């Protein structure tokens, strides 16, 4: 099995062309011809994750967030990023990243977040038609809970289902909720669209201060459950999907990475 086979399959389930124009996806480090027997899945390619891949004998890392995002003018091994790249090359570890293409693909991160919160009858929250395509992939989802529930109970369900202890709430808490919008990772600030969709609450992973301020003034309610928690839920699902396709490969999820934010 080589890295190119895995890249080709990722391009089937979450095509690279689905990514937003500003994004960086696909092969980051290594060669399509590299032989692989083990893959490590993660959110971010950190120093700890690279060491984890090395100690576990993984020849490929698939990350959600791009390992190389901005254009690099040089690979200076005395810099933090340069040293990481050198270690990956030295250990013959190929790195692939699937970001906004995986967010928007059917069965991807936003769909998984909606499923995780038990939403039904989901539709796209807002229009997203990548350049060169003629169909709407959508950004975010909006759907319904099985029945009306209290806001406090819904918050408890979010914490339980995402495995978190803390979250942030913006705006006035509605007494009851049923129509729920989700937007994994960083919300893109389109509050007018959100208001027009009449969601009782939006669950997202990141929201800027001034966006939060405007949302509260507009009468919206937003739950910021954390970037890490709203996106890491895709990893077990991606592991199962890849394992069904590549039965000869061992595919594991990182156990060393954690949300960089702590609460005192």
In three state form, how does the secondary structure of 184-208 look?
EEECCCCHHHHHHCCCCEEEEEECC
- Annotated binding residue at 227? yes
Distance CA 201, CA 170 (A): 10
Q: What are phi and psi of 21, to 5 degrees?
A: -60, -30
- Annotated binding residue at 64? yes
135: nearest Cα among 158, 104, 114, 109: 104
- Annotated binding residue at 103? yes
On the 0-12 / 13-18 / 19+ scale of CB atoms within 10 A, 182 is buried
CA dihedral 71, 77, 78, 81 (to 10 degrees): 40
- Report the side by side order of strands in the sheet with 250-253: 26-29, 94-97, 60-63, 38-42, 250-253
- Annotated binding residue at 231? yes
Distance CA 22, CA 11 (A): 18
Distance CA 96, CA 2 (A): 13
On the 0-12 / 13-18 / 19+ scale of CB atoms within 10 A, 12 is exposed
Strand, coil or helix: 94 = strand
Tokens at 231, concatenated: 């996106």
Distance CA 10, CA 16 (A): 8
62: nearest Cα among 87, 83, 36, 33: 36
Binding positions are 64-65, 103, 227, 231
Binding positions for a divalent metal cation are 64-65, 103, 227, 231
């Amino acid at each position: 099995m080589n890295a190119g086979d895995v890249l080709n399959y990722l391009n089937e389930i979450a095509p690279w062309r689905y990514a937003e124009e500003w994004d960086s996806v696909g092969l980051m480090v290594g060669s399509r011809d590299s032989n692989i027997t083990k893959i490590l899945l993660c959110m971010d390619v950190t120093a700890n994750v690279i060491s984890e891949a090395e100690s576990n004998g993984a020849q490929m890392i698939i990350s959600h967030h791009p390992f190389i995002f901005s254009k690099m003018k040089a690979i200076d091994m005395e810099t933090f990023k340069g040293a990481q790249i050198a270690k990956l090359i030295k250990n013959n570890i190929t790195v692939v990243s699937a970001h906004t293409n995986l967010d928007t693909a059917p069965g991807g991160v936003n769909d998984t977040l909606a499923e995780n919160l038990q939403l039904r009858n989901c539709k796209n929250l807002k229009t997203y038609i990548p350049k060169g395509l003629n169909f709407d992939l959508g950004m975010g989802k909006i759907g319904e809970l099985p029945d009306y529930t209290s806001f406090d109970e819904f918050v408890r369900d979010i914490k339980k289902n995402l495995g978190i202890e803390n979250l942030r709430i913006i705006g006035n808490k509605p007494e009851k909720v049923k129509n729920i919008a989700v937007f994994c990772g960083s919300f893109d600030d389109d509050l007018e669209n959100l208001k027009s969709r009449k969601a009782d609450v939006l669950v997202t992973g990141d929201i800027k201060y001034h966006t939060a301020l405007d949302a509260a003034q507009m009468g919206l309610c937003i739950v910021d459950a954390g970037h890490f928690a709203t996106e890491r839920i895709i990893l077990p699902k991606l592991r199962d999907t890849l394992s069904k396709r590549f039965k000869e490969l061992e595919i594991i999820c990182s156990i060393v990475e954690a949300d960089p934010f702590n609460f005192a």
